[in-house]
Structure 1
Amino acid sequence: MKRIKFSVLFLASVIAFGAVTTSSVNAKTTSEISDTKQEKVIVIKGSDAMQFDLKEIKVKAGQKVKLTLTHSGKLAKAAMGHNFVLLKPGTDVAAFGSKAAAARETEYIPKSEEASIIAHTKLVGGGESDTITFTAPKKGTYTFICSFPGHYALMKGSFIVE
């Protein structure tokens, strides 16, 4: 009888461990970033809580990057718009953000700062998305932000080129 109870407990723990292992594998295989030698495909989401779901993106120097920004929230772009702006090294993020806040007519991409931008999406609202393709710059760590007024303080991350 003790042997049967032990076998049942052992089998239950194996099943439970298998479920945990399977969900961990599934989490890894449903990654939002896929990598091939030719192209890195990235899907980054911005929410109504002013957050990107990715804080770090890694690519290889010279690699083609296909990036899709999706607004996972429900608010309109006039109230809670998001974009993805990849900045060149040395760009003062606060100064850029200040100038961006005044650039409503160009979807918060200031014309005076275009030389500071490597790539950017258009501004999207809840349920919308935009896809851009660009070539990864030289090795280094770059900053990406949302340039909608006030968002850059929370919506930022590192774009690491290896």
Structure 2
Amino acid sequence: MNNLAKFAVAALAFSAFHSNANECELSIESNDMMQFSTKALSVPSKCEQVKLTLIHTGKLPSSAMGHNWVLTEKQNVKAVASDGMRAGVKNSYVKPDDDRVFAFTKVIGGGESTSITFSTKGLSKDGNYQFFCSFPGHFAIMKGTFKIV
């Protein structure tokens, strides 16, 4: 195999690896108007780990307009949010060790970002998952669907 052919094979392998990795990385924005930038997120079923980055594009501090990203089953959103309010800001408004929560980020304020990596083990294609912000009063408006496709 000549050098050009070796380079082409290496480039294809690198490209395939990067496209698979990028499919397992998500980014979502939040703002001072209590909105996420999308109402739906999905990852391919081949993703064993998902990296999610939350970006707060607003200007208000976390104490006034903080946001996080919480993933749970749709039927658990209200209860998880309610328990989260009682857990308080020191716990990012998520009850510690809540097994209804698949993943969550810390609460951030305007101009900040945070990332988490979580396992998709236990999540299924036919699951009814929802993400939301558990900052007090936000979950009713700031939510969307999460799918394994």
| TM-score, length of structure 2 as denominator length | 0.77
| Aligned partner of 1:132 among 116, 125, 129 | 116
Cα distance in 2 for residues equivalent to 1:95 and 1:135: 23
Residue-by-residue CA offset, 1:107-147 (whole Å, 9 max, x unaligned): 201126x1011111111001011011123322123100100
| Aligned partner of 2:104 among 120, 134, 150 | 120
Structure 1 stretches of 4+ with a deviation exceeding 3 A read none
| Aligned partner of 1:46 among 25, 30, 33 | 30
Q: How far off is 1:37 after superposition? A: 2.4
Whether contact under 8 Å (1:88, 1:143) holds in the other structure is: yes
SS class of match (1:143): strand
Select the structure of larger CA radius of gyration: 1
Question: Which stretch of structure 1 is more off in the superposition, 59-68 or 123-132?
Answer: 59-68
Unpaired runs of 5+ residues, structure 1, are 1-34
- 2:20 aligns to what? 37
Cα distance in 1 for residues equivalent to 2:105 and 2:52: 9
**Which is helix-richer, 1 or 2?**
1
- Tell me if 1:157 matches 2:144: yes
Whether contact under 8 Å (1:62, 1:138) holds in the other structure is: no
- 2:43 aligns to what? 59
SS class of match (1:96): helix
Letter in 1 for 2:65: M
Matched-pair identity in %: 43
Whether contact under 8 Å (1:141, 1:161) holds in the other structure is: no
- Tell me if 1:76 matches 2:52: no
Q: How far off is 1:62 after superposition? A: 4.6
| TM-score, length of structure 1 as denominator length | 0.71
Whether contact under 8 Å (1:62, 1:135) holds in the other structure is: no
SS class of match (1:151): coil
Cα distance in 2 for residues equivalent to 1:151 and 1:117: 17
What CA RMSD, in Å, does the superposition of the two structures yield over aligned residues?
A: 1.7
Unpaired runs of 5+ residues, structure 2, are 1-17
